[in-house]
Amino acid sequence: MEITETIGFIAALVIGIILGLIGGGGSILTVPVFVYLIHLNPITATAYSLFVVGVSAFVGAINNIRKGLVSFRTAIVFAIPAFIAVYATRKYLVPIIPDQIFSIKEFMITKEIGIMIFFAIIMLLASISMIRNNKKDSIPKTNVRYNYPIILLEGAIIGILTGIVGAGGGFLIIPALVLLAKLPMKKAVATSLLIIAIKSLIGFIGDVENLEIDWSFLLLFTSISIVGILIGMYLSNFIEGKKLEKAFGWFVLVMGIYIIVKELT
Q: Per the structure, how many domains does the chain have?
A: 1
Q: For 97-135, what is each residue's pLDDT tens digit?
A: 898 888 877 788 898 888 889 888 888 888 887 787 665
Q: How far apart are CA 54 and CA 138, in angstroms?
A: 26
Q: For 143-183, what is each residue's pLDDT tens digit?
A: 556 667 787 888 888 888 888 877 767 767 877 777 777 78
- CB neighbours of 193 closer than 8 A, spacing ≥ 6? 23, 24, 57, 58, 60, 61, 64, 170
**pLDDT-based confidence at 140, cuts 50/70/90?**
very low
Whole-model pTM: value is 0.81
Q: For 213-249, what is each residue's pLDDT tens digit?
A: 999 999 999 999 999 888 887 887 787 666 677 887 8
Q: Which pLDDT value is given to residue 4?
A: 79
Q: For 26-60, what is each residue's pLDDT tens digit?
A: 668 888 899 888 999 988 998 898 899 889 888 88
Tell me the C-alpha to C-alpha distance, in Å, between residue 30 and each of 46, 52, 137, 244: 8, 8, 28, 18
8 Å CB contact between 96 and 171: no
Domain that holds residue 182: 3-264
